[in-house]
Amino acid sequence: MQARTTVVVDVGDVPVALSTGDPTLAAVLQQRFHRFLRPSAAPAFHFDISVIPEDAEDGDRDEDLQVRSEGGLWRLRRGDFRAEWDPDTRRGWIHQRLSPYAADSVLRIVHTLLLSRERGFLLHASSVVRNGRAFLFTGPSGAGKTTIARLAPSDAVVLTDEISYVRRVGDRYMAYGTPFAGELSDSGEPISAPVAALFGLAWAADPVHEPLAEGTAVQILMRNILFFAADPALSRHLLDTACDFAGAVPAFRLAFAPDARVWSTIQ
């Protein structure tokens, strides 16, 4: 019998154990999540992962993601994986192709479902900590999320350049580092800080830095929050959280050229 390897990935103070008997996948996961491994943490959830053989005929590899709930059990499927997760038993399984992206996607989905009930969300945004305060930079692909993170001063810490993790803790919103990165980028740092401001990004030769109305901030948030489940109750939680966040955190429109001086306006 092949030994199993368990990788505990802690994002947002929620440790999730990923257990597999495939040593190659175990190495891939350890590399993917290397900054977020917490071997000694007690897992809040546990997934057993099996690998689909490369030559197996197992459906359409280009199948789009589907997330649905049946009797409290979440079923997830995409071209490169199938998964189930039972929040009550805190266990699940993933049957996936040999790549880091399937387990990465399952973790993203699990965290969005958990956060939706905890006044939190995953956001298409880079986030950077400076002087103990987190700044979120959101926008669609190509808006400059990665660029502004790379332009950050040397005393800043990048939490992520792609997917930000935000959750209300007490009377403030906290941003946490995430390992969720694109194919060409690196994971963030596993620290957290209170959110000081949200910026909606755009490109412009002449910089623009102006406050956003609360309603506009809600719209920007809702267009960039990751959400996978067609569930009315979770949708209400999410909209409530976006409105609460917009009322608690100042938001700005930031149009900029790729020049490090843009950081002189971010306070």
Residues that bind other proteins (CB under 8 A): 213-215, 218-219, 222-223, 227, 230-232, 234-236, 238-240, 243, 246
CA dihedral 12, 141, 204, 138 (to 10 degrees): -20
Strand, coil or helix: what is 170? coil
Strand, coil or helix: what is 256? strand
Cα angle 45, 87, 97 (rounded to 5 degrees) comes to 65
Closest contact distance (angstroms) between CB of 241 and other proteins is 10
Closest contact distance (angstroms) between CB of 85 and other proteins is 20
Between 193 and 198, name the residue whose CB sits nearer to other proteins. Answer: 198
Closest contact distance (angstroms) between CB of 21 and other proteins is 36
Q: How far apart are CA 231 and CA 239, in angstroms?
A: 12
Of the candidates 175, 125, 172, the residue with the CA atom closest to the CA atom of residue 148: 125
Between 8 and 220, name the residue whose CB sits nearer to other proteins. Answer: 220
Between 191 and 213, name the residue whose CB sits nearer to other proteins. Answer: 213
Of the candidates 133, 98, 132, 92, the residue with the CA atom closest to the CA atom of residue 113: 92
Closest contact distance (angstroms) between CB of 227 and other proteins is 6
Between 6 and 219, name the residue whose CB sits nearer to other proteins. Answer: 219
Closest contact distance (angstroms) between CB of 65 and other proteins is 13
Strand, coil or helix: what is 171? coil
Between 99 and 219, name the residue whose CB sits nearer to other proteins. Answer: 219
